[in-house]
Chains A and B, each alone.
Chain A
Amino acid sequence: MRVLERGGRGSSRRGKLAAGEVGALRIAVVGCGAIGHAFHVPALAAIPGVGERVVLVDSNLSRANALRQEFGSGAVCSDHREVIDDVDGAIVAVPPEHHASVAGDFLAAGIPVLCEKPLATSIADGAALVEVGRRSGALLGVNQVRRLFPAVRRAAEWIGSGSSGTVRRIEIHEGAPFDWPLTSGGTFGRDGCGRGVLQDLGAHALDMVCWWLGSRPAITRYMDDSMGGSESVARVEFEGEGVEGVVQMSWLSRLSNTFRIEGEDERLEGEIRAWDSLWVTKRGGRARKLGLEPAVSSYPRVKGRMIENFLDAIRGHGTLEVPAEEVLPSLDMIEECYRRRGRFPMPWHEAGKEVCDEVG
């Protein structure tokens, strides 16, 4: 492995463990942008014996070095292909359009992967990754972190328990002014990927819908505000097997950041990021509080749990929280939305034509 080790250049033994073996894993984090800095690297750094062995991979070595310095990681490298033979697992945190190729390289070599969401930018790429993992026997999980949020998890249990009766309607509203500390502009404008808030927040929200329902509903309408670039506001309407729903997302304004699930007998409501309680209302009755799992009471705990789950699964202890095949339905929905995208009526935008009419 041609990596820059802590304290000097050199290589190390391959860290691959046999299933069930307990020991220090060597994990590669590929992509040292905002999500690597905010989520994966600090979560790994908090695990004794693992954090100091992490290999940080980024084509921009200065970014990788900055993270190594901040979190005491083990080594840096500029090309993920150089570390494939030397790690026990890889966290893929490069921009979404590169997920398929980077994750595919690790999976083909039998290296377990935890991939950032969305798993891929097309259902074909996503399904291909699942297939590569299946053939090589390598685990492939997706960092659909909302599934670990206590409120979202409790909602899945509540639906699964059947106490709500048949689910009739789902609403999710998620939005806040965008302030993610992006290190590159690959999302935006002429040179951007043309995919914005739907691919970002929608990858979570639509996965929640499919996970809760255990099926992929049909898209009835999709609209966003793209004018040739990446959308910042989007609305998905869907229906299927007696249920209908809407997912509304925004990068431009703060929405209620809540969900509501209407069953035949009960209604569940809450904030997506609620850590302590949800509210259930029986038809014709009063709302009652539903307690949430106390072990996960903050965002850092959620991060830690996702990473620990990945490491446990590598060691052969337990299964992945979010196996990749489970996210394919939501990936398919996203792809269909973009294929059918329509633009919101935006009279406040069109009005600008008037002031240019007499000039030019």
Chain B
Amino acid sequence: MKSVDGPVLVTGSGGFIGGRVVEILHAFGGLPVRASLRRWSSAVRVGRLPVDIVLCDVTDPAQVREAVAGVRSIVHCAYGNEHVTVEGTRNILAAAQAEGVDRVVHLSTMEVYGDVEGEVSEEAPVRRSGWEYRDSKIDAEHLCWRYADGGLPVTVLRPTIVYGPFSRNWTVEFARRLAAGGSFPARDDAQGTCNLVYVDDLVGVIHRALHREEGVGEAFNVNGEERITWWSYLDALNEGLGLPPLEAGGRLARRTRSAAMAPVRMAARRTLDRFERPIMEVYRTSPTAKRFMRWAEAMIRGTPSTGEYQLFRRSVGFSTDKARARLGYRARFSSSEGIRLSTSWLRHHGFVGVPELQWEPR
């Protein structure tokens, strides 16, 4: 095992995974960390640690070169729209090559395989689909391989459903929906595989990839040990939050509601994309508009999307045999342990169930 010494740059440190990478590498990984962020307001999480923090827009090559100067390795978590994901990765790789870093760990996603079913290993082909997130992650991987061919020591990780503290998609939003009595697909529509990996297990793989040469030039799936269903995850999270048992039935009614909400969801997203500033100004200044917008948001968030139905029905598993063999990976966190930690974090932060003042005028 070759140790990568010296400072590590973590891009996307204001995000869910990047933030946890910074925390663990600093607190337990024995590496000096340079946390990179796009704006200072994103620094509140990693700012709790005495780490070096730099502002860096990854789409700006000069800023990237400055952020990379003096580091020995890079964990690239930053992503965004196609431009940010692809050009940002290109800039990181170019700066890494110029700096002569010992390792780049690039965070990709299981989504690069497309909407496949069955058992998926790293040998499976990547499939473009027209979805910006997926296609841009595939393009970013291609850039990694091009630089790897040029001698840059790059490792690509393809995590599955990463959950845990600060996970907006799979922890906070689900918990909020559960606490609000929001609707999910019925049990029979949620029997697909939920490939959960607790965020700390992913960071453990990143830590190993920084230290093990066996990972250089390779892509690895990063998944948890268990193959539970989406319903099992929701049920366990619900129980962990101490909420009343989930209603399993009402399949037809839920599907109908989801289908009816689809055009509303699309119209709301397009309107917000186009008129975000004036809408937020109205939100801030008009109590009536604020109440309506909150109600509409709750309705939309509380209704499963058609995409969620597809995801919850999909039967797919992502093999971690390669990560086990080459990187010595094994998941440390069972789903029950990950959910226990997540729900204690959710309560601490008042997302659900904190015994704080809840004021509803009557």
Interface residues of A (CB under 8 A from B): 171, 173, 175, 178-185, 187-192, 196, 225-233, 248, 250-256, 258-260, 269-271, 275-277, 279, 287, 289, 298-299, 344, 346-349, 351-356, 358-360
B88 to A: closest C-beta gap in Å: 20
B25, closest chain A residue (CB): A356
Looking at the assembled complex, report how far the CB atom of B17 sits from the nearest CB atom of chain A, in whole angstroms: 13
CB nearest to A177 among chain B residues: B44
B263 within 8 A of A: no
B61 within 8 A of A: no
Residue of B nearest to A192 (CB): B47
B361 within 8 A of A: yes
Residues on A with C-beta less than 8 A from B358 are: 256, 258
Besides A279-B361, A349-B27, A353-B27, 15 new A-B residue pairs in contact (Cβ under 8 A), listed by A number:
A171-B357, A173-B356, A188-B46, A188-B53, A189-B51, A189-B52, A190-B50, A230-B48, A232-B45, A348-B344, A354-B333, A355-B24, A355-B28, A355-B200, A359-B29
Q: A255-B356, A287-B361, A360-B207 are in contact. Are A353 and B52 (CB under 8 A)?
A: no
What chain B residues lie within 8 Å of A232 (beta carbons)? Answer: 44-45, 47-48
Residues of B within 8 A of A (CB): 1, 3, 20, 23-24, 27-30, 35, 39-41, 43-53, 55, 164-165, 200-201, 203-204, 207-208, 211, 284-285, 287, 328, 332-333, 341-342, 344-345, 348-351, 356-359, 361-362
Taken together as a complex, chains A and B put the C-alpha atoms of A360 and B31 apart, in Å, by 9
Please, which residues of chain A bring their CB within 8 A of the CB of B35?
189
Residue in A183, A188, A259, A275 whose Cβ sees the most chain B Cβ within 10 Å: A188
Would you list 9 pairs from A and B whose C-beta atoms are within 8 A, ordered by A residue?
A171-B356, A173-B356, A187-B43, A189-B35, A229-B50, A251-B44, A256-B358, A356-B28, A359-B1
For the complex, give the distance between the alpha carbons of A254 and B40 in Å: 19
Report the nearest A residue to B32, measured CB to CB. A190
B332 touches A355 (CB 8 A): yes
Cβ A182 vs Cβ B41 within 8 A: yes
Q: Are A358 and B328 in contact (CB under 8 A)?
A: yes
Q: How many A-B residue pairs have CB under 8 A?
A: 169
The closest CB in chain B to the CB of A258 belongs to: B359
- Sorted nearest first, the 9 A-B pairs with minimum C-beta distance are A188-B47, A355-B204, A228-B50, A189-B53, A182-B40, A352-B24, A253-B349, A188-B43, A356-B28
Q: How far is the CA of A349 from the CA of B345 in the complex (A)?
A: 9
Closest residue of B by beta carbon distance from A358: B328
From B20, B40, B207, B350, contact of A359 by CB (8 A): B207
Contact partner, A180, options B29, B41, B45, Cβ 8 Å:
B41
Label chain A's interface by main secondary structure.
loop
* Chain A: minimal CB distance from B66 (Å): 15
For residue B201, which residues in chain A have a CB less than 8 angstroms away from its CB?
Answer: 355
Residue contact B43 to A189, C-beta cutoff 8 Å = yes
Question: In the complex, which of the residues A173, A189, A256, A347 contacts B46, with contact meaning CB atoms closer than 8 Å?
Answer: A189
Query: Could you tell me the distance between the alpha carbons of A188 and B1 in the complex, rounded to whole angstroms?
Result: 34
| Residues of the A chain whose Cβ atoms lie less than 8 Å from the Cβ of B41 | 178-182
Q: Which residue of A lies closest to B3 (CB)?
A: A360
Q: What is the bound-complex CA distance between A277 and B361, given in angstroms?
A: 10
- Known A182-B40, A355-B200; judge A252-B49 contact (CB<8 A): no
Please give the distance in Å from A324's CB to the nearest CB on chain B: 28
Partner of A354, one of B52, B55, B200: B200
Nearest chain A CB to B50's CB is how many angstroms away? 4
Residues on B with C-beta less than 8 A from A358 are 328
In the complex, residue of chain B having the shortest beta-carbon distance to the beta carbon of A275: B287
**Pairwise interchain contact B204-A348, C-beta atoms closer than 8 A:** no
A352 and B50 within 8 A (CB): no
Q: Do B200 and A185 have beta carbons less than 8 Å apart?
A: no
Min Cβ gap B139→A in Å is 30
From A179, A269, A355, name the one whose CB has the most chain B CB atoms within 10 angstroms.
A355
Say yes or no: A287-B287 contact (C-beta < 8 A), given A227-B49, A233-B349.
Answer: no
Q: Is the CB of A270 within 8 A of B359?
A: yes
Partner of B287, one of A180, A225, A255, A276: A276
Q: Tell whether, in the assembled complex, residue A351 and residue B361 are in contact, meaning their CB atoms are under 8 Å apart.
A: no
A89 CA to B201 CA in the complex, in Å? 57
A-side contacts of B341, CB under 8 Å: 347-348, 351
State the CA gap A351–B342 with chains docked (Å). Answer: 11
Give A230's nearest chain B residue, CB to CB: B47
Residues in chain A near residue B30, CB distance under 8 A: 356, 360
Closest to B361 in A: A279
Q: In the complex the two chains form, is B49's CB within 8 Å of A260's CB?
A: no
Given A182-B41, A275-B287, do A250 and B350 touch, yes or no (CB 8 Å)?
yes
A121 CA to B357 CA, complexed, in Å: 30
